[in-house]
Structure 1
């Protein structure tokens, strides 16, 4: 048994060492496979590099879209129809001034108080940028930079941009019809950005300003809200010139920037109301009713508009009755939520219809109007009797 085992082992050893069963190291199919594998991975890596490079512009745009817009970017957007040339020129002027600020900071700037730094930025703004005049209707940043004229909106936007670059904490403030800047120092300091000598005024004189007089009525204004004041003011100017359609477009733009602007909502309703009244004066009843529907859709059940709404409806009914459109006038009156708010009633309109038809000698129309009136007041026997009496009197007359 031992010999047998020894011989088998020897045979196996010889078989394992035979040249026929040895594979040369680094050659044959193994070498071919490794070479193709390396080429494949190189192609995959090249593909990934190409795809990453191609996707960079898209990734950059997405990153820019997700980044909160700055006040400057929102101010440019809020101007709406600003040309690229004017924007570039205004941006260049602002960039030059920011560079001038950095190169001309007073010595030992770090030892200045927050108020002293704010005063230096303020004075440089009025000396180098806002060198023109106060213009109530000039509320765009581009014109402030290019022409030097300004109002409270454009001056406050510009001052906030400059103080932000100088590292000063500020916030925009608002009250009815006015905005300004508040320096978040200790104590806080309100800055009337439209007054070039603000920091030179005595406290008593500063106390007479709208900013100080506003007291607790003053409200903070976000960057979006401040930028939204640009189209908001444009809307007021357009409405004053009778361009109600343009005014509504400006206000819709303002509300897209700052949806919580209660003043813009109120102004939109007021301008729509004035537009509807103007349409009534031009005998354009259909447009007036379309505008009325927009008012109701935007601010339903607004108590401030109920009185105006009734006046518009009454004016339309008056015109339609004058044109002989009594059935339409009746439908409009009956569509109102509270017909009692109107100076018309269903009965008075039927009476006017019967009277008008009889005056024209159209007794068929008069009788038909009476029949409709009786049907509408079938639950009111007294009114029905009075209408019949009116009809008999007209016939006998």
Structure 2
């Protein structure tokens, strides 16, 4: 210890000597050089001060930009996907998850690295069901927060939770999907599909496992990204809202799902179907304007579906029926002429004009009837037969 202290003292003395050596002293008669160095020092101090001020001022923006560029993990996206999750419930669920992750780290079996991937996946799976998902299977329970707080789950919430846990355990897994169902796949050799909602999955015989939706899906199964998996939360909520007739809420949830996973073709199809059902409901309530606004939103989506095209035409026909009963013939004609010819309508320009003429005649308004005939002749000037039939119909009405 003494020798080290002696060397340290000698080094200090050498540095002191160098600091006071003639090479570091300003020579006599160098007044201009002293003035130049002093001014240069002040200039650099001002520059450094300016840079420090600008850096401090930009820190919030830099932090915001860094947060925006940082990819969100599955847990963050799951919280966001719940939409109306309160801070209290999120904190409670987060605490429950943190406690379980700590428990996992403290209770990993000895020689964990010597376990096969399937054995490790089974251990994480069983711990999840024993300690977290100890409630009931609920087909409508998509929220990760409820799964953690109450223990109730469905395929979406259970798969999200298992993905988070296997990721922490260093296991290579990926979410899988087929129509109406999601599960987890362990990327082992061979790959292993895991039904996250079946608490006894790893205890089942291969024959029993083969009856599950995951195994039955076979080649139809598709991988699901973290964004796509989180998007299933609002996607499923939209279905629940639509079943209750709350179409505006359903569309909001589907729009949110598509913002998370814009390539989700199922969400796009469901959006069109729900818009269609919403428009039909508006027709039943005689709210034609809202129905037409909804049809415009369907057109903006530009999703070709033959069944929806047929329904769309029926909705347009229903609007025309209602408008004709209200005497809104001009609007009915414009609406009909705006439609494409992809599916036939039971209305035609001629039929609407004829109904207009008959209605005006029945009301005794011959001026309107004659004006409707004149417009009909103009619209069918290249169809002499139709013009002749309309003229005959007008004469019959006026002579009766």
TM-score of the alignment, normalized to the shorter chain, above 0.5:
yes
The answer to whether residue 333 in structure 2 is matched with residue 330 in structure 1 is yes
Which of these residues, 137, 142, 155, is aligned with residue 140 of structure 2? 137
Which of these residues, 252, 258, 263, is aligned with residue 249 of structure 1? 252
Q: Give the conservation status (yes or no) of the 8 Å contact 2:313–2:343.
A: no
Match of 2:273, SS state, is helix
Equivalent-residue separation in structure 2 for 1:221 and 1:202 (angstroms): 27
The answer to whether residue 227 in structure 2 is matched with residue 224 in structure 1 is yes
| Alpha-carbon shift at residue 88 of structure 1 (Å) | 1.6
Structure 1, unpaired ranges of 5+: 1-22
Which of these residues, 95, 100, 104, is aligned with residue 101 of structure 1? 104
Deviations 1:25-57 (A, max 9, x none): 166443344344334434544554454455445
The answer to whether residue 185 in structure 2 is matched with residue 182 in structure 1 is yes
| Alpha-carbon shift at residue 74 of structure 1 (Å) | 1.1
Greater Rg by CA: 1
Does the C-alpha gap of structure 1 residues 33 and 135 become closer, same or farther in structure 2, counting only changes over 3 Å?
Answer: same
Which of these residues, 381, 396, 399, is aligned with residue 396 of structure 1? 399
Structure 1 stretch displaced more, 52-61 or 322-331: 52-61
Does the C-alpha gap of structure 1 residues 48 and 384 become closer, same or farther in structure 2, counting only changes over 3 Å?
Answer: closer
Which of these residues, 162, 173, 176, is aligned with residue 176 of structure 2? 173
Aligned residue number for residue 305 of structure 1: 308
Q: Give the conservation status (yes or no) of the 8 Å contact 1:153–1:226.
A: yes
Deviations 1:244-283 (A, max 9, x none): 1111111111001000000000000000000000000000
Which of these residues, 352, 355, 360, is aligned with residue 355 of structure 2? 352
| Alpha-carbon shift at residue 379 of structure 1 (Å) | 1.4
Q: Give the conservation status (yes or no) of the 8 Å contact 1:353–1:366.
A: yes
Query: Aligned pairs, how many?
Result: 375
Which of these residues, 203, 207, 210, is aligned with residue 207 of structure 1? 210
TM-score, normalised relative to structure 2: 0.89
Deviations 1:145-187 (A, max 9, x none): 1111111111000000000000000000000000000000011
Deviations 1:45-96 (A, max 9, x none): 4554454455445434322322221111111111122122221221111111
Equivalent-residue separation in structure 2 for 1:390 and 1:369 (angstroms): 12
Which of these residues, 263, 268, 285, is aligned with residue 265 of structure 1? 268
Aligned residue number for residue 117 of structure 1: 120
Structure 1 stretch displaced more, 118-127 or 292-301: 292-301
Does the C-alpha gap of structure 1 residues 59 and 396 become closer, same or farther in structure 2, counting only changes over 3 Å?
Answer: closer
Match of 1:172, SS state, is strand
Equivalent-residue separation in structure 2 for 1:32 and 1:297 (angstroms): 73
Structure 1 stretch displaced more, 54-63 or 367-376: 54-63
Match of 2:177, SS state, is strand
Does the C-alpha gap of structure 1 residues 389 and 185 become closer, same or farther in structure 2, counting only changes over 3 Å?
Answer: same
C-alpha RMSD of the superposition: 1.9
Q: Give the conservation status (yes or no) of the 8 Å contact 2:235–2:257.
A: yes
TM-score, normalised relative to structure 1: 0.90
Structure 1 stretch displaced more, 290-299 or 83-92: 83-92
Structure 2, unpaired ranges of 5+: 1-25
Match of 2:377, SS state, is helix
The answer to whether residue 92 in structure 2 is matched with residue 86 in structure 1 is no
Q: Give the conservation status (yes or no) of the 8 Å contact 2:333–2:349.
A: yes
**Pairwise mapping of residues 306-321 of structure 1 onto structure 2 (< 5 A)?**
306-321=309-324
Equivalent-residue separation in structure 1 for 2:33 and 2:253 (angstroms): 74
**Pairwise mapping of residues 366-377 of structure 1 onto structure 2 (< 5 A)?**
366-377=369-380
Aligned residue number for residue 158 of structure 2: 155
